[in-house]
Amino acid sequence: MNHANPKIARRDFLKTGATALGATAFTLPQLLPKGVLAAAGQPGANDRLVTGHIGVGGMGGGHLGYMVGRMSRGDVRVAAVCDVDEKRLAGALERAGEQARPYRDYRYVLERKDIDAVVIATPDHWHAVQTVHAAESGKHVYVEKPACCTIEEGKAMVAAAKASKVAIQVGSQGRAQPECYRAHLYIANGMIGTVRKVTCWHYETPADNHPVPDSEPPPELDWDLWLGPLRWRPYNARYLHGVFRWMMESGGGQIRDRGAHVMSNALKIMNADHTGPVSIEAKGTLPTRGLWDSAITMEVVYEFKNPDWTLVWSQPGKRIPYYNPDRKIRDGYGAVYHGDKDTLILWAGDGQTFTEPKAKDYKLPPGGIDVPKAVNFNNHDDWFEGIRTGKPTIMNVQAGVATAFLTVLGNLSLVLGRKLHWNPVTQEIVGDEEARRKMSRPQRYPYVL
C-alpha cells in the first residue's frame, strides 16, 4: 500500500480534515488471507512497544492518554490512531504526537509491520472481528469489554489467539485492582466458608423515552464503517456515541456493560474462568418504544456444577451502600459472596473495586493460599508482561469470552422467554434448536470473522 509521507499526511489532515488522506490511509482495502500479514508481534527497537489505537473516543481516549504518558519512559511509541469520526480522530492525533499517523479504516493499521500491538476501544459489535483480524495479523491486542456479542464470535477470538500466540487482554480491569485481589485472597483462604451463591446488583438500563427520527449522518462520521459487521440501517442519533450500549445488536444493556466487570470478578474469585453454567434463566422487562431494545429490569440465575454454586445478576437488585474514606457512597453496583460462615461484599468492579475492611486488612498466614494478581495491579502493565513473557494475562481472552458468554446467554434467555441449558465443555446450547441458531448471526461483508 502506498502511504504518503507521514508528516505531510498529518499536516494535511489537521489542516483540511480526513479527506486529505483519501487515496492513502482511508481507501477501503481488501481483507488479506490469513498468514499474509506480519508474524506474531514482538517488541520494537530497544524493547519499545509500538502501538496502534483503534477507536479513540471514550475509553479509547483514556487508553491513548495512558500510552502517551508511557512514551516519556521510552518503552512505548504510539504510531497510529484510528477512528470513523473525524472530530475524535483529529483530537486523538493532536494528543498522540508528531510520530502518529491517522486512519479511518482499522485494516490499514493492521497492515503496518512496524506496529506490535493494537488497543481496540470501538463499539461492542466490532470487538470480535477486529480482535480476530489483529491476531491473524500478528498483533498483540488490548480490547475493551465485553469481548464479543455472540457465542460464535467468542469461539473465533479464542481460536485466533491460540493460533497466533499473541497476548490478549480484555478491558474488564476490575479483577486487576488491589481490592479485588484482597477479596479473592480472603475467600480463597476460607474466611467466609464455602461459597455457594454470588448475587450481583446494578441499576436499570435507560429507556429511549424521547425517540428521534432517522436522519443523514453528520459529515464527520463514516456511518457505513461504524456499522461494520452489522446489517445496514439508516443513521439515527440514538445509536451513537456511547448509547450503542443500549442496543442488543451493538451493546446489550447493563448486563453486558457493567456485567462484564462485576461477573468477571465473580468468575475469577470462584475459579470459574474455564467452566460455565449448566442452565440460565432470565426474567425482566423489555422496552416498548424507541430504538433501544435492551432489558430495562432484569434478573438472571446461572447454575454451575462441579462445584455447585449459583450466580445471580439482579437489575436493579438490592443496593448495599459503602462509605469510603473520601465520604462518597459506592452502591451503584457490586456483588455479595455468600459463604456458609459469613458474607463478603465487593463493590463496583471497573476502574476501581472496593471491599470490606475485614478483607482489606487480612494477612495471608504461613501456608495460606495465594491467588493470581495483575502486575502492579494494573491492566496495561499486566498486558505488557504477557507480551514480554507469553504468560496469560489477568483478563485473558478465554476469561473475557467466558464472561461475555454469561451476558449473551442471559439476554438470549430473556428474549426467548425460557430457561436455556448449556454445555460448558462444548460451549453449546443443548435441547433448543431456535436458541442454538442464535449463537451466531450474519455479518456484513467484508467485516467478517
- The C-alpha cell that represents 134 in the structure block: 489483529
pTM of the model: 0.91
Taking the C-alpha atoms of residue 37 and residue 422, their distance in angstroms, rounded to an integer, is 37
Taking the C-alpha atoms of residue 161 and residue 255, their distance in angstroms, rounded to an integer, is 25
Q: Which residue has the cell 499473541?
A: 166
Q: Is 90 exceeded by the pLDDT of residue 331? A: no
Which residue type occupies 204? E
Q: What is the pLDDT of residue 1?
A: 37
Q: What is the pLDDT of residue 329?
A: 64
Q: What is the pLDDT of residue 321?
A: 86
Quote the radius of gyration of the chain (alpha carbons, Å).
22
pLDDT tens for 344-400 read 999 988 878 999 999 999 999 999 999 999 999 999 999 999 999 999 999 999 999
Taking the C-alpha atoms of residue 404 and residue 397, their distance in angstroms, rounded to an integer, is 10
Average pLDDT over residues 323-332: 68
Helix H, strand E, coil C: the string for 326-365 is CCCECCCEEEEEEECCCEEEEEECCCCEEECHHHHCCCCC
Q: Is 50 exceeded by the pLDDT of residue 445? A: yes
- The C-alpha cell that represents 297 in the structure block: 429490569
Q: Is 70 exceeded by the pLDDT of residue 278? A: yes
Q: For the chain, give the number of residues.
A: 449
Q: Is 90 exceeded by the pLDDT of residue 34? A: no
Q: What is the pLDDT of residue 134?
A: 98
Q: Is 60 exceeded by the pLDDT of residue 429? A: yes
Q: What is the pLDDT of residue 2?
A: 34
Q: What are the CB-based long-range contacts (under 8 Å, 24+) for 431-440?
A: 438/412, 439/150, 439/151, 439/152, 440/150, 440/151, 440/152, 440/153
Taking the C-alpha atoms of residue 230 and residue 284, their distance in angstroms, rounded to an integer, is 26
pLDDT tens for 303-315 read 999 999 999 999 9
- The C-alpha cell that represents 4 in the structure block: 504518503
pLDDT tens for 396-414 read 999 999 999 999 999 999 9
Q: Is 90 exceeded by the pLDDT of residue 316? A: yes
- The C-alpha cell that represents 357 in the structure block: 475492611
**Residue 36: CB partners within 8 Å, gap ≥ 6?**
none
pLDDT tens for 57-104 read 999 999 999 999 999 999 999 999 999 999 999 999 999 999 999 999
- The C-alpha cell that represents 106 in the structure block: 482499522
Which pLDDT band holds residue 47 (cuts at 50, 70, 90)?
confident
Instruction: Walk me through the domains of the chain, giving residue ranges and CATH numbers.
Output: 6-166 (3.40.50.720), 175-371+397-437 (3.30.360.10)
Indicate the DSSP class of residue 120.
E
Q: What is the pLDDT of residue 351?
A: 79
Lowest mean pLDDT among 19-23, 75-79, 106-110, 380-384: 19-23
Average pLDDT over residues 265-279: 97
